[in-house]
Amino acid sequence: MTRRTTSSESQRPARRGARASQVGLESRTRAWLRHHRAMWLDSAQRLAKRPLSSLLTMLAIAIALVLPSGLWLALDSARLLDAELDESATVTVYLDTRLDERAAMDVAARLRDQTPVAGARLVTAAEGLAEFQQGVGLEDALASLEDNPLPAAVVVTPADTDPDAVRVLASNLEAVDGVDEARVDLAWLERLRRLAELGQRLALALAGLFGLGVLLVVGNTIRLAVESRRQEIEVVTLIGATHAFVRRPFLYSGAWYGLGGGVLAIVLLVLGGIGCQRRSPPWPRVTGHTSRCRD
Amino acid sequence: MIVFEHVGKRYGGRSEALADINFRVGRGEMLFLTGHSGAGKSSLLRLIMRLEKPSRGRVLVAGHDLDRFHLSQIPYYRRQIGVVFQDHQLLFDRSVFANVALPLEIQGVEPRESARRVRAALDKVGLLYRETALPIELSSGERQRIGIARAVVNKPSLLLADEPTGNLDPQLSADIMRLFEDFNRIGTTVMVASHDLALITRLRHRVLRLREGRLVGDEEAA
């Protein structure tokens, strides 16, 4: 006497009775598609009938989407998010000024062989001077110097860009013969990294918060729509509408609101992007190599 | 067609709306359900429509124990019943035609077949020429007839009516009742709840009498 036997009795409703079985699966599927199409259109028409309130709802959604994604884009264009930051975590190793170019190359080769080093690029004293002149614009002053006051330097890219690992690497490099000083400007690097992290977290938190906001806006709008069509829902339920049938128009209106809000958000972001590009110069790129004047 | 076995219905802590109701209605029968307002007529109809479950006893309709329905089966069950409401329950944002077509739309009938059946139903209640009108433009008697057209458009085997003549004058009421008799003549089981005793007595059908939730009379047709 399990549930199975009772349900297999003839006590079931005649939903597949004489008339229903004539209908068949194919035409039922067609009817289902027809209703989907009808509700898709019907919900769009209902929105179009009240353009202002529909537009306001979509705008609310759009703004809620624009704020976090705008912040994310701003972080991205400030190059705080991409790999550029890691590349900038280099250690500049200043060599002893007494070394000539050959000896400097030897030291550079030795540095390259250190285990946690991904790469090492030699900047000779002459190159350093040229770079310095270009960067600072002190050509006249520097030209008046008899000797090149700059040491040769090796820009070392650590394999591990974790700040602690970089600091350890720097002190190891300093112990190498012919190395005067290994400098890594970790403080600003870390600050930048923290800032990026903060920005990222802020964007995520905002995205979560505003995502919830979007749900509430759409949910509330649909709730009002349901409220205004309560009588209709009651009537169709009384004459045999399934829950899916009743829900369908509201799901489609929600989808329309979401779509409209999304498109508006994209438009706003593109417009904002164009506006920003026109006003502010491109962000300066961060480089790890800093020349240093000695003596 | 309809079997009530020791049916009782209680809402919350109040006294019983229905108590120990027993009766049977044969297929193709026409009967009235009468009693003062609050006697339990509407509760009884709501049980048949499976809007509510009885607190006690069993209700069987067309061989189905309504208590055993899974929630998802109820809509399909309701499609076999036509219901006429006192306040007609038409949707005012669509035409007469669309109102009558609603049950067919729910069942997914092909539009062409649906239009044919809607026109047949409208013709039956004598309002075919009003198909493009909005319900707001109709008189209350016309609205009630549209409500009846909607109830019969999918040819239900059972037609229920809850005070269908509640707001109508005697002449219109008699017209409405004649419509019900017509549907009964082609084999539909018809159950009409009404407190219009004068009209009911004239029509000579079986009458179930309710008083304070109890069945106090079951008079066969004269």
Q: Where on the phi/psi map is residue A63: left (φ > 0), alpha (ψ -120 to 50), or beta?
A: alpha
Q: Is residue B12 part of a domain?
A: no
Residues in B closer than 8 angstroms to A32, CB to CB, are: 108
Q: How does A188-203 read in b/e, with b if 16+ C-beta sit within 10 Å?
A: ebeeebeebeebeeeb
Q: pLDDT value at position B32?
A: 92
User: Do B102 and A27 lie within an 8 Å CB cutoff?
Assistant: no
Percent of chain A predicted with pLDDT > 90: 6
Give me the count of residues in chain A: 295
Q: Angle at which helices A186-228 and A51-77 pack, to 10 degrees?
A: 170
Query: Mean pLDDT over residues A213-221, rounded?
Result: 86
Q: pLDDT value at position A174?
A: 77
Query: Mean pLDDT over residues A45-54, rounded?
Result: 88
Query: Mean pLDDT over residues A150-156, rounded?
Result: 77
Q: pLDDT value at position B99?
A: 92
* A45 in reach of chain B (CB within 8 A): no
A1 class by beta-carbon count within 10 Å (0-12 exposed, 13-18 middle, 19+ buried): exposed
- For chain A, domains (ranges, CATH) are 42-78+194-278 (no CATH), 90-183 (3.30.70.3040)
Residues in B closer than 8 angstroms to A20, CB to CB, are: 76
| Structural domain harbouring B120 | 91-155
> What residue of A is the nearest CA neighbor of B61?
A13
pLDDT tens across A26-47, in order?
A: 878 888 888 888 888 888 888 8
Q: pLDDT value at position A4?
A: 42
Query: Mean pLDDT over residues B151-164, rounded?
Result: 90
Q: B147 vs A156, which has greater pLDDT?
A: B147
* Residue A294 pLDDT exceeds 80: no
pLDDT tens across A258-286, in order?
A: 899 999 999 998 888 787 766 555 444 44
Q: Is residue B124 part of a domain?
A: yes
Q: How far apart are CA A148 and CA A99, in angstroms?
A: 13
User: Do A239 and B103 lie within an 8 Å CB cutoff?
Assistant: yes
Q: pLDDT value at position A10?
A: 40
B164 class by beta-carbon count within 10 Å (0-12 exposed, 13-18 middle, 19+ buried): buried
Of B80, B91, B110, the CB nearest to A235: B91
Q: pLDDT value at position A289?
A: 41
User: Do A238 and B51 lie within an 8 Å CB cutoff?
Assistant: yes
* Residue B40 pLDDT exceeds 50: yes
Query: Mean pLDDT over residues A247-266, rounded?
Result: 91
Show which of residues 232-291 on chain A sit within 8 Å of chain B, judged by CB atoms: 232, 234-243, 245
Q: pLDDT value at position B100?
A: 93
Of A6, A27, A241, the CB nearest to B75: A241
Q: pLDDT value at position A169?
A: 77
Number of domains in chain B: 1
User: Do B73 and A15 lie within an 8 Å CB cutoff?
Assistant: yes
Residue A212, min C-alpha distance to chain B (Å): 31
Read off the pLDDT band of A20 (50, 70, 90).
very low
Residue A21, min C-alpha distance to chain B (Å): 13
Of B68, B75, B108, the CB nearest to A31: B108
Of the listed ranges A137-141, A145-149, B193-197, B212-216, the one predicted with least confidence: A137-141
* Residue A135 pLDDT exceeds 50: yes
> What residue of B is the nearest CA neighbor of A39?
B105
Q: pLDDT value at position A126?
A: 74
Q: Angle at which helices A243-279 and A18-49 pack, to 10 degrees?
A: 30
* B94 in reach of chain A (CB within 8 A): no
Show which of residues 3-22 on chain A sit within 8 Å of chain B, judged by CB atoms: 6-7, 10-15, 17, 20
Q: pLDDT value at position B120?
A: 92
Residue B104, min C-alpha distance to chain A (Å): 10
Residues in B closer than 8 angstroms to A243, CB to CB, are: 75
Q: Is residue B70 part of a domain?
A: no
* B69 in reach of chain A (CB within 8 A): yes
Beta carbons of B50 and B106 less than 8 angstroms apart: no
Q: B8 vs A97, which has greater pLDDT?
A: B8
Q: pLDDT value at position B222?
A: 59
Closest CA to B146 of B191, B92, B189, B195: B92
Mean of pLDDT over chain A: 75
Q: Is residue B143 part of a domain?
A: yes
Q: Is residue B34 part of a domain?
A: no
Query: Mean pLDDT over residues A228-240, rounded?
Result: 88
Q: How far apart are CA B63 and CA B2, in angstroms?
A: 8
Beta carbons of A92 and A288 less than 8 angstroms apart: yes
Of B64, B77, B106, the CB nearest to A236: B106
Q: pLDDT value at position A85?
A: 54
Q: Is residue B38 part of a domain?
A: no
